[in-house]
Amino acid sequence: MTPSELRSTREAMGLTQTELAEALETALRTVQHWEAGDRAIPGPVRVALRLMRAPSKAADRGTRAA
């Protein structure tokens, strides 16, 4: 994931940098560094973003208990 892909993904989810930082439990400055390309975006963050973007399979099944 490139810095511009991170930014466009964040924007597509309707999140500010602050909101994304809170969702990922990281510092705002860290998100800013990722988007600026100053620091590499860690693999676990890429996975978390993919999961955040994906529609919930539980929502597709309704709220029935397993």
How many domains, the chain? 1
Domain boundaries, position 36 = 3-53
Select the more confidently predicted residue: 36 or 54. 36
Task: Write down the pTM of the prediction.
Answer: 0.79
Position 60 pLDDT exceeds 80? no
Residue 59 covered by a domain: no
- The pLDDT value recorded for residue 63 is 53
Q: What number is the average pLDDT over the span 30-59?
A: 89
SS3 state at 35: helix
Q: What are phi and psi of 56, to 5 degrees?
A: -70, 125
Residue 20 covered by a domain: yes
Q: What is the DSSP string of 29-66?
A: HHHHHHHHTSSPPPHHHHHHHHHHHSPPHHHHH-S---
Residue 46 belongs to domain with CATH number: 1.10.260
